[in-house]
Amino acid sequence: MHAYLAGLGTGLSLIVAIGAQNAFVLKQGLMRRHVLATVAFCALSDAVLIVAGVLGAGAIAARAPWFLETMRWGGAAFLLAYGARSLRAAWRGGAVLRAGEGATSLSATLAVLAALTWLNPHVWLDTVVLLGGVSAGFGDRGAFAMGAVTGSVLFFAALGYGARWLSPVFARPGAWRVLDLCVGLVMWTIALGLVLRG
């Protein structure tokens, strides 16, 4: 139980920070677009990465700088492009929240999520390398992994489905412009951090 709770706490502490993936999940929740698929994709991806880290992929990633370097530049390019899209939407304005209106396809949603998740070196570093390393300090690494996976599922479900409580706020165009502006700035800040870290 100790290893499970440690995994739960560590996983939640790493995932709660606002990042590109979380911003996208929040937006999907607000728009009520493919929320179940979005939450499931993020939670399943996290589970795969957490288990890989606990099984030792963290050591492999740490010994292959080219892998993280490729993720860094690919992630930065994607975040710059997606951030520009959000900033353009904020500049144009006029958007209001009407649940289900103008819904993008499920395949497009999953493609964006795949890029935000699998091309993001922060995800690899936090989920695979860091959680994998921390799990080494526990005798029951399986319980640690299950705790971290539980934290991921709880967080993404709360973010995706809890966003609907903010719907009345985002019925106003001004609030939507602020969200698009914040999403764009978060994406560009992360992208800049990735570029400068090299």
| Tens digit of each residue's pLDDT, the chain (198 residues) | 777 887 777 666 666 555 778 888 888 888 888 999 999 999 999 999 988 888 875 566 567 767 667 766 776 777 788 788 878 877 876 555 444 444 478 999 999 899 888 987 777 777 777 777 677 666 787 888 899 899 899 989 988 998 888 777 766 777 777 877 877 887 788 678 767 865
Residues with Cβ < 8 Å from 106, sequence gap 6 or more? 34, 37
Q: How far apart are the first and last CA of the chain?
A: 40
Among the listed residues 103, 100, 86, the one whose alpha carbon sits nearest the alpha carbon of residue 177: 86
Interatomic CA distance for residues 105 and 102, integer angstroms:
9
Is residue 50 a contact partner of residue 127, using CB atoms and an 8 Å limit? yes
pTM of the complete model beyond 0.75 = no
Q: In degrees to the nearest 10, what's the CA dihedral of 79, 146, 49, 45? A: -60
Is residue 34 a contact partner of residue 121, using CB atoms and an 8 Å limit? no
Among the listed residues 120, 111, 113, 114, the one whose alpha carbon sits nearest the alpha carbon of residue 194: 120
Q: Where are the alpha helices (DSSP H) in 53-105?
A: 58-63, 65-92
Look-up: residue for tokens 């740490």?
62
pLDDT given at position 170: 67
Is residue 187 a contact partner of residue 80, using CB atoms and an 8 Å limit? yes
pLDDT given at position 45: 94
Is residue 1 a contact partner of residue 96, using CB atoms and an 8 Å limit? no
3-state secondary structure of 99: coil
